[in-house]
Structure 1
Amino acid sequence: MTELPAGLGAWSSLPFFTAHWPDISAAIAEDARDILPPADQRFAALELTQPQDTRVVILGQDPYPTPGHAHGLAFSAEPHVRPLPRSLSNIYKELSDDLGVIRRDADLRGWARQGVLLLNTALSVPAGEANGHKSFGWHHLVHQVLELTSKTPTAYILWGNAAQKLEKHIKPGDHLILKTAHPSPLSARRGFFGSRPFSKVNNWLAARGEDAIDWNAGTEAQA
């Protein structure tokens, strides 16, 4: 029996971990290439943001394929990474335009600790080969995470067509669902810039009597 990753907490009850994880784990083990992120960071998004703490879900695609960048959270990278990944740089530009928050650090773990689940739709990638593990079955995990989190009111940020196709796995409820173009340089000017997702999420949370997300958490404000 394949051992469950440590630190999953309440996520470990998802059927994925008995029905699909053993085969995915075996497929990763058989892949002789350098697989990113390191195994101990593969489920970092779930470990940092437990189901009962999840207030916002942001979906990415797969981990950064550049060694030393990915650490298990969608769009996030290790703090030392320079230049910033291009999609993250555009996210920060929109954050600055929306709320005046200026970030330089690539690390988004400060968001995750406030209930922002930064989940990729595949949790592994061979170095240098984006989407290299897309067919491994990771989508089952994402579907189940959406179904579980949508049992309670949650804000969903769906950037780009791939993320928006997953909306059908969100159960009906008092959710905030924001859909725009992806922050990639190829599409950011087609509706991502100017969409103001960060203030919209905080306004929605405030209307529910919840604390706002500190989108500057985990880094120092820089002029």
Structure 2
Amino acid sequence: MDTLTPPTKWSHLSFFADHLPAINSALEADGRNILPPHGQVFAALDSCGPEGIRVVILGQDPYPTPGHAHGLSFSVAPEVRPLPRSLNNIYKEMVSDLGAAPLTGDLRFWAEQGVLLLNTVLTVPAGEANGHAKLGWQSLAEQVLHEVSKRPTAFVLWGKQAQALARHISEPKTGGAHLLIESAHPSPLSARRGFFGSRPFSRINTWLADQGQPQIDWTDT
């Protein structure tokens, strides 16, 4: 993989000086097919600057199937069928919560509305889920959470891996309070243990309305 360069809107984070060089070296030495493609590794951060983020949804690592991951957690390229099982469960909950779901798995229109879809690990070898879990990517997610939490924000932490990062969410400096939604992960292994029925999408929109902000169009309808 070619050398990764910091996304402009986030280049002030110390991660890019302290950790990215070692990650770049590891990726360059890794002979496997690395996903997502080079230009999409920082797609989530490229799509949302710190000041524009209203919602953060943390994922784990990119989909390991070539052609699926494009740099935003849970999202897939619009032509992908069938949907990954976790995303399919997210859509089932959305239908239950809101009565509709998007027609494809491409969630980039969420990002355009200020929803940061961030994985805690940003690369994966094809076919090897969690294959880059020890590269050091998690430090970036920790710093992003700290940066974003300067302003009241809705944080969605699905599953224990995401919830372990809650300690990096600090109190807003501008007054107000965050919305913190924690539940089981939408994976088929855990979705029935608290994800289904959690109604995260309507809860976020109610909170945004209370803040005097526009609600998120989750379904693109």
What TM-score, normalized by structure 2, do the two folds share? Answer: 0.95
> Equivalent residue for 1:190?
193
Post-superposition CA distance 1:20-42 (Å, at most 9, x none): 00110110110000000001000
Q: Which residue of 2 aligns with 1:28?
A: 27
Identity of aligned residues (%): 61
Q: Determine if contact 2:63/2:69 at 8 Å carries over to the other structure.
A: yes
Deviations 1:21-78 (A, max 9, x none): 0110110110000000001000000001111100000000000000000000000000
Tell whether the 8 Å contact from 1:37 to 1:63 is kept in structure 2 after alignment: yes
Runs of 4+ in 1 over 6 A off after TM superposition: none
CA contact (8 A) 1:4 1:12 kept: no
* Contact 1:147–1:170 (CA under 8 A) maintained in structure 2: yes
> RMSD of the TM alignment (CA)?
1.3
Aligned residues of 1:4 and 1:17 also touching (Cα < 8 A): no
Q: Tell me the equivalent position of 1:202.
A: 205
> What stretches of structure 1 of length at least 5 have no aligned partner?
none
Q: Is the 8 A contact 2:4 2:38 kept in 1?
A: no
Please give the alpha-carbon distance, in whole angstroms, between the structure 2 residues aligned to 1:121 and 1:188.
20
Map 1:53-202 → 2, pairs under 5 A: 53-173=52-172, 174-202=177-205
Quick one: distance in 1 between partners of 2:145 and 2:193? 26
Gaps of 5+ in 2: none
**TM-superposed deviation, 1:184:** 0.2
> Over residues 133-153 of structure 1, what are the superposed CA-to-partner deviations in whole Å (9 max), with x where a residue is unaligned?
000000110000000000110
**Preserved CA contact (<8 Å) 2:55 2:155:** yes
Give per-residue Cα distances to partners, 1:73-131, cap 9 Å, x unaligned.
Answer: 00000000000000000000001110112323010000011000000010000000000
TM-score normalised to the size of structure 1? Answer: 0.94
Q: 2:218 aligns with which of 207, 215, 219?
A: 215
How many residues end up aligned between the 2 structures?
Answer: 216
State the shift of 1:156 in Å.
Answer: 0.2
Are the counterparts in 2 of residues 96 and 102 from structure 1 also a CA contact under 8 Å?
Answer: yes
Measure how far apart 1:3 and its partner are: 6.7
Q: Is the 8 A contact 2:9 2:45 kept in 1?
A: no
2:69 partner letter: A
